[in-house]
Amino acid sequence: NVLTQSPGTLSLSPGERATLSCRASHSVFSNFLAWYQHRPGQSPRLLIQGASSRATGIPDRFSGGGSGTHFTLTISTLEPEDSALYYCQQYGSSPNTFGQGTKLEIK
Amino acid sequence: QVQLQESGPGLVKPSQTLSLTCTVSGDSISSGDYYWNWIRRPPGKGLEWIGYVHFSGKTYYNPSLQGRALFSFDTSKNQFSLRLNPVSAADTAVYYCARGPDCSAGNCYDPFFDSWGQGTLVTVSS
């Protein structure tokens, strides 16, 4: 199941809202879709699993939505530390696959 | 809080064996609650899941590796390992180890990853 993320790069200012898209080539079984944040020099961090459930310790300004073949990650109020690569992953079929990533830049 | 740390040579010659170890702290790999995974990211490309090993001995290898990967674990050291043989330049990547929940509870079909190591760069070059 091929995942395509858009846009490739997003440049926004602190306080703005970011919406990242992840489209699957086939419907994702049971909406088993996760989002990860990867800051330079750090380990990737799980943000969302099951398309919309925040992982432990993730602030509520991160929210996931969508179903089937189209999913979104929304960051409601951007902070400077949100600058990172964001990946989606489907785990509803094997082998699980990742999108190519969206780079979020905070101006 | 679980922590994972990859270790191994940063340079491997073509046709030889890539060997990496992941040391886990804050959790026991023999608890049976999790799958222990390897993931890689080649330069300029996206993430690729290599596969997992479970304490029960169950393993899964991504078919894209064409049978070249082998997982093992050492419970006395709380470590799990990856061997990839033979390697080529296409195997140059940052390699990550990661923990994923056991899917028998119905919360996944394949693993997702709730904790990751920082990654280690392996370059395949003569």
What are B31-60's pLDDT values in tens digits? 888 999 999 999 989 999 999 999 888 999
Question: How far apart (Å, rounded) are the C-alpha atoms in residues B41 and A31?
Answer: 24
Amino acid found at A56:
T
User: Which letter does DSSP use for residue A77 in this model?
Assistant: S
Inter-chain touch B49–A95, beta carbons under 8 Å: yes
How close does chain B come to A19, measured CA to CA in Å?
Answer: 20
Inter-chain touch B108–A32, beta carbons under 8 Å: yes
- A40 Cβ under 8 Å from any chain B Cβ: no
How close does chain A come to B103, measured CA to CA in Å?
Answer: 10
Question: How far apart (Å, rounded) are the C-alpha atoms in residues A33 and B94?
Answer: 23
End-to-end CA distance of chain A: 34
For residue B108, what pLDDT is reported?
A: 86
Instruction: Please give the angle made by the CA atoms of B58, A100 and A33, to the nearest 5 degrees.
Output: 55
Could you tell me the pLDDT band of residue B107, with boundaries at 50, 70 and 90? Answer: confident
Nearest to A96 among B46, B49, B117 (CB): B49
Structure-token pair, residue B75: 């419970």
For residue A57, what pLDDT is reported?
A: 94
- A57 Cβ under 8 Å from any chain B Cβ: no
Could you tell me the pLDDT band of residue A67, with boundaries at 50, 70 and 90? Answer: very high
Q: State yes or no: pLDDT of B62 exceeds 90.
A: yes
What is the Cα Rg of chain A in Å? Answer: 13
Inter-chain touch B47–A96, beta carbons under 8 Å: no
Nearest to B111 among A96, A98, A101 (CB): A96
Q: State yes or no: pLDDT of A15 exceeds 90.
A: yes
Contacting residues of B for A43, CB less than 8 Å apart: 4, 96, 115-119
Could you tell me the pLDDT band of residue B21, with boundaries at 50, 70 and 90? Answer: very high
Comparing CA positions, the residue from B40, B45, B26, B18 lying closest to residue B115 is: B26
For residue B103, what pLDDT is reported?
A: 83
